[in-house]
Amino acid sequence: MKWPEKVTIKEVGPRDGLQNEKKIIPSETKIGWIDSLSETGLSYIEVTSFVNPKWIPQLADSLKVAEGIHRKPGVTYAALVPNLKGLEGALHAKMDEIAVFMSASEGHNRKNINKSIHDTYPVLQETVNLALQEGKKVRGYLSTVFGCPYEGKVPAAQVLSICERLFEMGIEELSLGDTIGIANPRQVEEILEQCLKTFKGARFALHFHDTRGMALANILKALEMGFDTFDSALGGLGGCPYAPGASGNVATDDLVHMLEKMGIDTGINQDKLLDAGYFLQQKMQSKLPSHQMAVYNAAKA
């Protein structure tokens, strides 16, 4: 078996990780944390989301955070946007890359975006068009690919149809999300095989949540199939406000540990990564749930 020699890890902790935190975290803490992440060797950090603050109060300071961070050359700083208004904020903040999002299931899409899948397409299309006109790369997120909290199993044909529409819009990469952490390696293989057959040469990333402790196993299966880009959040932060019971993302530190032990290059300094996690723990006054942070904390004790 030939494993990828190098893997790209996209850190989504500052956005996807923090959005589910109930206690509002000061902007200065977010800025300090992102700056520490920038020193770890990460090449991609999703900084925030320009959404209506009433939906996600934790990210109401998106502009302040985006403008306050120290941008390190070679690091892509991205932001999630739901529509043209969100894109306006991201452009004002001079984000490097824009991400748009929707769900593979009607139930979750209506909860998350308050629109049907059909009605979401034109909103995303005009957002992608303007972002591309402004010279920005655009990434897409597709949630509930492997299962929906409201509808259960999502038909593969439905997933592929939405993928096709998103690629037609002009997105550069599509991140397939296991929003409620329900996927298993066999299911991952089945869906990814169909994606590879249907979209030859397309760029995919995988976004696994670790609700049932299956995220690393699912990543291992994706690696076997040649996929080399994964989203993660330092310390295992995260969850989805519209997916009851969903816990955090796969932990960046656990993922880096596994890959480096396998001889797969991530370009990330594990010591600096854990230091960045410790910084956030101290500021939040609570321990992060990842395995590597548990080891780190025990050594500090």
Q: Where are the domains of the chain?
A: 8-300
Q: Over 80: is that where the pLDDT of 45 sits?
A: yes
Q: Give the count of beta carbons closer than 10 Å to the beta carbon of residue 172.
A: 14
Is the pTM of the predicted complex or chain greater than 0.95?
A: yes
pLDDT category at 21 given cuts 50, 70, 90 is confident
pLDDT category at 244 given cuts 50, 70, 90 is low
- Which pLDDT does position 298 carry in this prediction? 95
Percent of all residues in the chain with a pLDDT value above 70, rounded to a whole number = 97
- Which pLDDT does position 243 carry in this prediction? 57
Give the pLDDT confidence of 165-194 residue by residue, as tens digits: 999 999 999 999 999 999 999 999 999 999
Give the pLDDT confidence of 92-146 residue by residue, as tens digits: 999 999 999 999 999 999 998 999 999 999 999 999 999 999 999 999 999 999 9
Q: Taking a C-beta distance cutoff of 8 angstroms, is the pair 9, 255 a contact?
A: yes
DSSP string, 107-168: HHHHHHHSS-HHHHHHHHHHHHHHHHHTT-EEEEEEE-SS-BTTTBS--HHHHHHHHHHHHH
Q: CATH topology for 8-300? A: TIM Barrel (3.20.20)
Q: Report which of 111, 177, 178, 176 is spatially closest to residue 150, judged by C-alpha positions.
A: 111
Q: Over 90: is that where the pLDDT of 238 sits?
A: no
- Tell me how far apart the alpha carbons of residues 249 and 246 are, in angstroms, rounded to a whole number: 9
- Tell me how far apart the alpha carbons of residues 206 and 142 are, in angstroms, rounded to a whole number: 10
Q: Over 70: is that where the pLDDT of 240 sits?
A: no
Question: What is the radius of gyration, based on Cα positions, of the chain?
Answer: 18
**Contacts of the segment 260-264: beta carbons below 8 A, 24+ positions apart:** 262/3, 263/3, 264/3, 264/4, 264/5, 264/6, 264/7, 264/223
Active site residues: 240
DSSP annotation of 51? -
Give the pLDDT confidence of 251-299 residue by residue, as tens digits: 999 999 999 999 999 999 999 999 999 999 999 999 999 999 999 999 9
